[in-house]
Structure 1
Amino acid sequence: MAVKRVSIKNHSAEANLFARRTFITFLGVLAMLLILFNNIYDLEINSYEKYQTRSNKNRIKLLPVAPNRGLIYDRNGVLLAENKPVYSLAIIPEEVNDVEQTLALLSDIVDVSDEQKQNFLKSMRYKRRFKPLELLSRLNDEQVAKISVSQHLFPGVIIEARLKRYYPFGDLTTHSLGYVAKINSNDLLKLEQQGKSDGYKATRDIGKLGLEKYYQDLLHGSMGYQEVEVNNQGRILRTLSFTPPVPGKDLTLSLDIELQMIAKRALSGSRGAVVAIDPRDGGVLAFYSNPSYDGNLFVHGISSKNYKKLQNRNRPLINRATKGTYPPASTIKPFLGLSGLENQMITTSSKIWDEGFFKLKNGKRKYRDHLKWGHGWVTLEEAVMRSCNTFFYKLSYELGIDKISATMAQFGFGEPTGIDIFEESAAILPSRGWKRARYNEPWYHGDTVNIGIGQGFWTVTPLQLAQATSILVNKGEIKEPHFLSAIHSPLPLTAELSNNDTVAAAVFSGADDLSQQDNSKNGITREISAFEINEKPPIELNNEQNWDIILEAMHKTVRAPSGTGYRAFLGSNYDAAGKSGTGEVVGRAQDTDYDATKISEDKRDNAMFIAFAPYTAPEIVVAIAIENVAVGGGGSNAGPVARQIMDQYFANKTLTAKE
């Protein structure tokens, strides 16, 4: 029988083993606690500032606040561009369970088009979901009431109130003021390239055309900030501090809104432009292109339907005052006459016999006068006054294109005037080099003859004509045309010009006059002196009396019964001078009589007119261009428009004097 062995446990050994294991475990736990406390000490003491900053960055945000855009006034303090409160319907996608269903339900309350729905859904892809996204703008009182009543049914749907640009005079000022519209990707790219994007983080609109674009830096102002506490989803919990934005500067223009109204009424039913300038300082008094359009359409985003309406045959989107190019016609005869006197090709006593046409030596073509039977013996003064083509055919041929181009370039033809809007054409001042580069052809004598009456290749803008006339009445002194008259700033201009006003500082580099305190705007007014704006050397003549000879010829054009502008200014209570012009749109055979009723409207002649008054001390220069007139020429169509502008100007002046 086997004997079974029974092992007896060694309790003492087991107790020692347990004690050793417990001690080792204790040491491990103690080591981990030491490491933990060390890390806590490092986080709470050594790295407190570091992680507190990181925490604050996650918890506290600096949100940009957009400044109010500066206002724009005319010369008499009439408000031309303001900021009006508008209501818009916005949705916070984060708070909406089904966005598409919400859009459908909202359509039952207010009119939401399919285009607006698609644009909203598209914008959701590029915006953070907790940010309000605009669905409808410019809500009327009825729409606001309907939404407010039902708003409890639509979580995440809110009504926002903010300021938007508004132009009280609509189409009267669009081609000068331009308009603002939503900042797009191209605008953002340009701002980044210019290093200005940080200042536009809260701005929704930017100047797109005209003065709104040119003086964007002045009008925009400086961004403010609010320090807010947010949750982990980025939603604002409370505002900690607020730094208000600096509003944009208010601008006062030389423009007179009453003259704008007269220009619109005078051009009613016609395509054309009116430009009026004060020759003493270059300030633009009137600047109207007809037909025009309402810039307010673009402020809130123009629909494709409304935009198509503007793309019609009358082309209202084109600024005819600076972008419309027309043959100057007979309006350039005073300038050619001055060139003839200066180059000693003619004198005041020079005469030619006008039998109704001019022919080049050995040439067959007859360059006809507007009078088939001619004007008989004609001097320079009579040629300007009665607009004798034959005289200037001969004069231009004798001068030659090189001398003509050189003289006309001095008066600013063929280049932008430098007016303070970007939308300006240089038009065409032809020369030998220009024709060779454009057509790869030589210059012919026949080209020069056509140039002599402002036809052929030569084109001008109404603004160029007004500027050239201003130089003429100033006897060679050049005043650059401009709209801006004064800047009203909420802060001292001397401090701000060095930082933000790069455009104004460049344009008005010499103007440093800080005038009286403007209490109405709680800021400083700085008057802009045009005599200090981009001064150019004057035109100097060999014989200064030649200025008076040409100006007197223009005076008689309006005052003498045989002058082409006599009827337009008959009975005026101010002493005016001027020159008419009738520009051919298409060439005609030499033996063909012009009959406007037998040709299409777009091929009819243009009517042109330049004028200034008073004759002895000019205060206003006017240039008129009217397209495709049915009957008559510049004197009978454009002349009366110039008369209406001047009548209004001097009526206002008389009224102001009486007051």
Structure 2
Amino acid sequence: MTEFRAPAVELARFRLRVVVAAVFVLVCFGLLAARFHHLQVKRHDYFLTRAEDNRIALLPVVPHRGTIVDRKGVVLARNYATYTLEITPSQVRDLDATLDELASLLPIDGRDRRRFRKLYEESRNFESVPLRSRLTDEEVARVVSQRYRLPGVDVKARLLRDYPQGTTASHVIGYIGRITERDVERIEEAGNAANYRGSQHMGKAGLEQSYEHELHGTTGFEQVEVNAGGRAVRALSHTPATSGNDLELTLDIELQKVAEKAFGDRRGALVAIEPSTGGVLALASMPTYDPNLFVDGISTQDWKALNDSPDHPMLHRAIYSTYPPGSTFKPFMALAGLETGKRTARQAIHDVGYFNSGGHRFMDDKIGGHGMVDLHKSIVVSCNTYYYQLANDLGIEGIAGFMAPFGFGERTGIDLPGEATGVLPSPEWKRKRFKKAEQQRWFGGETISVGIGQGYNAYTPLQLANALAALVSRGRLYRPHVVKYVVDSRTGERRAVEPEPLRQIPLRDAHLRAVLDAMVDVNRTGTGKRAFKGAPYTVGGKTGTAQVFSLRGQRYVEGRVRERLRDHSWFVAYAPAENPKIALAVLVENGGFGAQSAAPIARQVIDYYLLDQRAGAPAAEDEEGAESEEGAEGGGEASPATPAVESATPAEEPTAPPQPRPVPQPAAVPAPQPGVARSTR
């Protein structure tokens, strides 16, 4: 059968197929071109950065930490060069085998390995990770001689923190420690993650913590070209780090040493302030600790020794622990009586040895009383009855209102972390403090206790020293500070930390003079005269004794009470009285009478500061000698936490006062001779 073809139709079909194929090819090429344009043009910067990230690594350059010196330039915290053994994981084929090999060359214990593993997990593959620090010259030689067969292992020189004064002023200076995961979270929240790249340490306590932003510096960066395996090939650029700023303190480290040595093995605190500026001259908290233990990670043994010690050496007693001020509160009470018009300087009371209020008998320390007592004598002999009556007349609201401007019951704002608020008691405070309605009620007997610095009163040694500084500077209250200058590491410019007046308390000169003159006579003829016998300068002060637990009307005999339950010893002082250059507060935990334990420490500190000598104060009198003096002088000072009460009604009995922060107090130990108040100075 013959097949007929139409050439024209075939040609049309062929052309159609060619056109379709051409369009398909053009569309494909168009899609490729569009994709190429998208990748090469629109997303050029993104992929260039990705490529550079694969080729270039940014290695952090850790800045040198700023140094800390005292007011005379004595170094308190510095950096020193040491050799560290480090491993770059990207250059090591078998990490465990390398660690075992290194352990055969020099001592590497389990703690070193655990710390290395933790740092390795947190580091980038091309960064070196420290395994051991403080290598000796012999250990360095061993590693270097075998380095040819230990790829990725290197010995580097690094700077570590050093505290050359050891335990001296450790609570003030603080310490640095390794950055933890919690620290990392806080750094990221603050937006400082980039500035801490490569840093392994940061401030953990004291000035190291509060001035971390000044001391740390600015991290630099080094651009390094790396190969596909993550190994560095060559350095491309270098941005140097900026060292941290230095700190110059108001602290006198030699005065600090005198203060700490004066405490011996006793627990307590001392705060010395320059009244005209608020600069802290000495800030001792005893016992102390060695901050060098924390620099490279404290050992379990050392930490257990510090943490389990009954003396709590890590506790910053000067700014964190709160105590009843005892009779050191009386000069402020006397001034309150004058300023409010409740008393005049010449107005006297007849002290018969007790004060009756609401059916309660609040006993004085001296049986039979002190006779006729005016304001001057009340401070010199520390007459409790005078202040029982004054507190009753002022009322708790009047007391709290007058004391608040002096900074009692509020943070001073010192440039150190961890400051406590303290307690300035008032009915409002009690309503907030307690939940039960019966506990929220304020009793009249509690006001009487507050008047002699007991009851719910609880202040830090720093608060008491700063209040005294305001008193002797005619009512000007400063924010205490430890740093005097911040020195710029680049320019050397010294940026002063200017004295910051918090408020001016309106006080009449005549009233101030009446109180300050009485405080001078405390150390001439009163309860502090033994400690300052023969002093070549005029000094004002006030002894104080704070009860640790309530005797419930029984007689306090120090020798029959366990050491941790004995009264705390207080002494506040300023000198020279004509133009005060130093104001201080001294607390000796469980030290007994204020004149017996705290006053001699104050004498040694003031002697050194004013006379530049370390001559010790006269030996403290024993209890028997102090008792005999009390009888001759007409009374020491009594300041029980809950004054001895006769015929107390149970419903009206004051709630037990809060215990001091430092050491949990065990149950009260009863003493004989009920119905007699303590005899304290």
C-alpha spacing 1:36/1:204, structure 2 compared with 1 (3 Å): same
Task: Give the 5 Å matches for 1:566-585.
Answer: 566-585=529-548
Provide closer, same or farther for how the CA distance between residues 407 and 95 of structure 1 changes in structure 2, counting only shifts above 3 A: same
1:547 maps to 512
Deviations 1:218-277 (A, max 9, x none): 112222222221112322211122121221111111000001100110011100011100
Q: Deviations over 1:579-612 (max 9, x none)?
A: 010111011132x222222222211110001000
Per-residue CA deviations over 1:126-174 (Å, capped at 9, x if unaligned) read 4334432222222233433333344444333222221122111122122
> Counterpart in 2 of 1:375?
370
Residue 466 of structure 1 is matched in structure 2 by 465
Between stretches 43-52 and 379-388, larger displacement belongs to 43-52
Counterparts of residues 243-642 of structure 1 (less than 5 Å):
243-311=239-307, 312-363=309-360, 366-439=361-434, 440-491=439-490, 522-530=491-499, 533=500, 535-541=501-507, 543-559=508-524, 561=525, 563-590=526-553, 592-629=554-591, 632-642=592-602
* CA–CA separation in structure 2 for the residues paired with 1:339 and 1:46: 80
Of the three residues 57, 60, 63, the one matched with 2:59 is 63
Task: Return the alpha-carbon distance in structure 1 between the equivalents of residues 126 and 63 of structure 2.
Answer: 23
The 1:108/1:600 distance shift into structure 2, 3 A limit, reads: farther
Which shows bigger deviation, 241-250 or 107-116? Answer: 107-116
Query: Residue deviations 1:50-86, cap 9 Å, x none?
Result: 5655533432233322221111111001111111112
Q: Which residue of 2 aligns with 1:650?
A: 610
Q: CA deviation at 1:338?
A: 0.5
Equivalent-residue separation in structure 2 for 1:37 and 1:553 (angstroms): 98
CA distance in 2, matches of 1:651, 1:548: 26
Deviations 1:98-132 (A, max 9, x none): 33343334334332222332333344344334432
Deviations 1:508-544 (A, max 9, x none): xxxxxxxxxxxxxx521223331xx2x3331113x43
SS of match in other structure, 1:564: coil
Structure 1 distance, partners of 2:594, 2:212, is 38
Query: Which amino acid counterpart does residue 639 of structure 1 have in structure 2?
Result: A
Q: Matched residue of 2:477: which SS?
A: coil
Q: 1:212 to 1:133 in 2, by over 3 A?
A: same
The percent of aligned pairs where both chains have the same amino acid is 41
Report the number of matched residues. Answer: 590
Alignment partners' CA distance in 2, 1:488 and 1:114:
41
Shift, 1:205, TM fit: 1.5
In structure 2, relative to structure 1, the CA distance for the partners of 1:111 and 1:469 (3 Å cut) is same
Counterpart position of 2:167 = 171
Determine the structure 2 residue equivalent to 1:77: 73
For structure 1, which segment, 314-323 or 168-177, has the greater mean C-alpha deviation from structure 2 after superposition? 168-177
Equivalent residue in structure 1 for 2:217, among 196, 221, 234: 221
Contact 2:125 2:230 in 1 (8 A): no
**Partner SS for 1:470:** helix
1:536 counterpart letter in structure 2: L
Letter in 1 for 2:314: L
99-108 or 425-434, which moves further after superposition? 99-108
Q: 1:472 to 1:53 in 2, by over 3 A?
A: closer
Q: What amino acid is aligned across from residue 464 of structure 2 in structure 1?
A: L
- Paired with 1:226 and 1:129, the residues of 2 have a C-alpha distance of 16
Task: Say which SS state the counterpart of residue 225 (structure 1) adopts.
Answer: strand
Whole-Å separation in 2 of the counterparts to 1:626 and 1:74: 25
Determine the structure 1 residue equivalent to 2:105.
Answer: 109
Q: Helix, strand or coil: the match of 1:159?
A: strand
2:127 matched to 1:131?
yes
What code does the residue aligned with 2:599 have? G
- What is the distance in 2 between the residues matched to 1:241 and 1:123? 26
Letter in 2 for 1:460: Y
Residue identity opposite 1:120 in structure 2: F
CA distances 1:435-469 after superposition (whole Å, capped 9, x unpaired): 22223421111111111111111111110010000
What is the Cα deviation at residue 43 of structure 1?
Answer: 11
What is the CA–CA distance in structure 1 between the aligned matches of 2:429 and 2:48, rounded to whole Å?
70
Aligned to 2:12: none
CA distance in 2, matches of 1:489, 1:82: 16
In the alignment, what sits opposite 1:18?
Answer: none
Q: 1:45 to 1:145 in 2, by over 3 A?
A: closer
Contact 2:68–2:247 (CA<8 Å) still a contact in 1?
Answer: yes
Distance of 2:578 and 2:367 partners within structure 1? 36
Alpha-carbon contact 2:59-2:127 (below 8 Å) kept: no
Structure 2 distance, partners of 1:623, 1:460, is 12
1:34-49, aligned counterparts within 5 Å?
none
Q: Which runs of 5+ in 1 are unaligned?
A: 1-26, 492-521, 655-659
Shift of 1:361: 4.1
Compared CA separation, residues 402 and 39, structure 1 to 2 (3 A): closer
TM-score by length of structure 2 reads 0.81
Output the CA distance in 1 between the equivalents of 2:410 and 2:36: 74
Distance 2:476 2:32 in 1: 85
Which whole-Å CA distance do the structure 2 matches of 1:634 and 1:653 have between them?
23
Aligned-partner Cα distance in 2 for 1:564–1:126: 62
In structure 1, what residue type is equivalent to 2:473?
N
When structure 1 is superposed on structure 2, of 40-49 and 596-605 the one drifting more is 40-49
Evaluate the alpha carbon distance shift between residue 64 and residue 99 of structure 1 in structure 2; reply closer, same or farther with a 3 A threshold: closer
Aligned-residue CA RMSD (Å): 2.9
**Are positions 1:207 and 2:203 aligned together?**
yes
Instruction: Evaluate the alpha carbon distance shift between residue 319 and residue 350 of structure 1 in structure 2; reply closer, same or farther with a 3 A threshold.
Output: same
Moved more, 350-359 or 140-149: 140-149
SS at match of 2:346: coil
Counterpart-to-counterpart distance in 1, 2:53 and 2:133: 34
